[in-house]
Every structure is written in structure tokens, then in C-alpha cells.
Amino acid sequence: MIFIIRLIATWYNHLHIFNLNVQVKIKNIPENLRPLFPPPLDRLLEINPDYLRKYKLGNRVINYLERLQITNEHLPALIKLAESAVNPEVFDNEDERYFYASVHAWRILGLMRAEAAIEPLLGILNALDNANTDWHLEEYPDVFAFIGESAVEPLGKFLHNPANRPYPRFCASSCLEKIAKLNPNSAGRCKQIIIELLKNYDHNDEDLNGFLIGDLVGLKAVEAAELIERAYAAGKVDTLICGKWGIVRRELGVPGLGLAEDTGPYKLPSALAQLPTTAKTKPFINASERNRKKRQRKQQKQSRKKNRRK
């Protein structure tokens, strides 16, 4: 009986992701924003905002393409809508549906594996960071992972460019990690790009080194173990981001060279040690946690206006 109730609830939720009162919604679009929403993109404004987090590329996905009958002919309009995320008329609009529509557009471009969207999406990354929104930290890795191998080199170029803002660069590294996991054929190149930047650990910011190491460990890049240890030995890693060397070393499964201080065997707090293995806290800081720390770091290091979208 419980199973049947849950099944009905799931069906109901899927049915009501899109508000069926279309005409009322369309009439409410301000004149200056109407060019961003040619049919069927206007229907993105019908999506219940609650579903923005509940349904996303990393887990459940709204069936955008089939539900909205989106095809390649809509690609230019989708790119324009995606770029509108940094348009003050969209970002600062009291009606958050307009900003959320641009996030939906990112996702659709990912589902379409739209190579044409790579440069436009990277082109707004610094502006997104400057606008004090953190949606790209969560969304971009999945979007670029769906686009796939064609995004690797542009992301690498962006990551290696010191003119780009720090957090967009961290985001680009996370994108490479996610691409490598979803597209194994590109894993070698993704790791190489991150390793090449980590070789400059003496000149990199400690935060940058921490996120690069976290992404390499997420990719099980054993070949980078010595380089990572040397970065730790030089004191150039923010351990709050990726953990101490001893933890990273064990996550990679390497003995280490004795260059960096080793924290010794990881010991769980006594209360956690009594829990079943599956309930114990994993010592390595995973990608989701690093994304949280990216947001936390931005709050600590920048004087930010309150972000109503997070």
C-alpha cells in the first residue's frame, strides 16, 4: 500500500513540474525579457522552483527535451537564455523564475551535448562569480560532463589562465573531474591538465592547490602522488579543502616518500568508530564537500551582498 502511494505521489509530482496555466504565465513576461523566451522556452517559466534542486543532471533529470519538444533549431535561443544569467534585468529581477530559466537552459544544453555552448558558458563564468551567485559551482560540472570530451581543452585553457577569477578556475577543475568520470576516454587528458597546473604549486594560491589535489584524488591520479606530496611538503596546500597528506596518501593507496608530514593512521572519533562501516565518515573530502567549501571560502574572503538564490 505504501509503495502504491509513493508511486502515485511520484506520478503527481512529474505531472505538476510544469504549471498547465500557460497563458497567464506568458502574459506576465516583461516586454524587455520577451526576446529571451520564444516558444517553447517560455514554458521554462512554468517549472515549479522547488524542482530546481530536486531534479538536476547529477541525479533525477527533468525530461526537458521530450516535454518541451526542444530540437537543435532552439540551440541559439537556449545559448542566449543561458547567458542571460548575468544580465542584471534577469539576475536582479524580483521574480526568480527568470534566473532559474537560465539554469534550466544550462542543463538543456548539457543534455543536448551542445558543443556550441562551451565557449558561451565559459564566457559568463567570471561574471557569475562576480555576481555573487554560486549556482555554477553546482551545475557546471554536470553540464560540462554531459557535453563531454569536446569541452576538455577549452576548460583546460580557462583553468590555466591566471586572468580568470579564482573560483571560476576551481569550478573548471571540478568540471574536468566530472567529465573524466562520465567519459573515461578523456580521463588521462583531464588529469594531465590538472597535474600541469599543480606543478606550479609554489606560485599557486593554497586554495587552488587544495582544489586541484582534491580533484586529482577524486580521479585516483596515483601518478600525481609525488607531486602532491611535494606540494604538501612546501606548505602550499590548504588542508581544510582536501585534507592532510596522510589522508590523501591513503586515499591514493601510496606509501609516500617521507617528504611531507604524515598524520599517521586515520582514527575515527570513538562515537563514530562504533557505527556500522557504511555510516562512518569518510576522511577524504569529496567533490560535493569541496563545492560546499568553495561557497564557504567565498563567504569568508569576500564582502558579499546577501545572495537570495542560495
Q: Do 121 and 84 touch, CB atoms closer than 8 A?
A: no
Residues 252 and 148 in one domain: yes
Model confidence band, residue 63 (pLDDT cutoffs 50, 70, 90): confident
Whole-number pLDDT of residue 307: 43
Residues 104 and 149 in one domain: no
162-189 average pLDDT score:
96
Which pLDDT tens digit goes with each residue over 102-129? 999 999 999 999 999 999 999 999 999 9
Q: Do 42 and 94 touch, CB atoms closer than 8 A?
A: no
Q: Is residue 190 part of a domain?
A: yes
Whole-number pLDDT of residue 133: 86
Residues 107 and 157 in one domain: no
Percent of the chain beyond pLDDT 70? 76
Domain boundary among 56, 77, 112: 112
162-175 average pLDDT score:
96
d(CA 303, CA 109): 32
Q: Tabulate helix, strand, coil % of the chain (nearest 5).
A: 65, 0, 35
Q: Is residue 9 part of a domain?
A: no
Q: Is residue 68 part of a domain?
A: yes
Q: Residue 47's domain spans which residues?
A: 31-112
C-alpha dihedral, 124 to 96 to 294 to 146, nearest 10°: -60
Whole-number pLDDT of residue 290: 54
Whole-number pLDDT of residue 262: 85
Residues 247 and 192 in one domain: yes
Residues 78 and 209 in one domain: no
Radius of gyration of the chain from its Cα atoms, rounded to whole angstroms: 21
Whole-number pLDDT of residue 296: 55
Number of domains in the chain: 2
Residues 292 and 174 in one domain: yes
Residues 84 and 197 in one domain: no
Residues 89 and 192 in one domain: no
Among left, alpha and beta (phi > 0; psi -120 to 50; other), residue 258 is: left
Q: Do 136 and 171 touch, CB atoms closer than 8 A?
A: yes
Model confidence band, residue 309 (pLDDT cutoffs 50, 70, 90): very low
Whole-number pLDDT of residue 57: 81
- Torsion over CA: 181, 184, 187, 189 (sign): negative
Whole-number pLDDT of residue 6: 45
Residues 100 and 244 in one domain: no
Q: Is residue 51 part of a domain?
A: yes
Q: What is the pTM of this model?
A: 0.80
Burial of 50 (0-12, 13-18, 19+ CB in 10 A): exposed
Q: Is residue 273 part of a domain?
A: no
What long-range pairs does 84-92 form, CB within 8 A, spacing at least 24? 84/36, 85/124, 85/128, 85/133, 85/135, 86/124, 86/127, 86/128, 86/131, 89/32, 89/33, 90/33, 90/36, 91/131, 91/133
Q: Is residue 91 part of a domain?
A: yes
Whole-number pLDDT of residue 271: 41
DSSP line for 189-224:
HHHHHHHHHHTTTTTS-HHHHHHHHHHHHHTT-GGG
Q: Is residue 64 part of a domain?
A: yes
d(CA 47, CA 13): 11
Which pLDDT tens digit goes with each residue over 11-60? 444 444 554 333 334 457 889 999 999 999 999 998 888 888 788 887 77
Q: Is residue 10 part of a domain?
A: no
Residues 93 and 199 in one domain: no
d(CA 78, CA 96): 18
Residues 47 and 92 in one domain: yes
Whole-number pLDDT of residue 288: 56
Chain Cα centroid distance, residue 18: 25
Residues 158 and 287 in one domain: yes
Whole-number pLDDT of residue 76: 98
Indicate whether 143 pLDDT > 50: yes
Query: Mean of the per-residue pLDDT values for the chain?
Result: 82
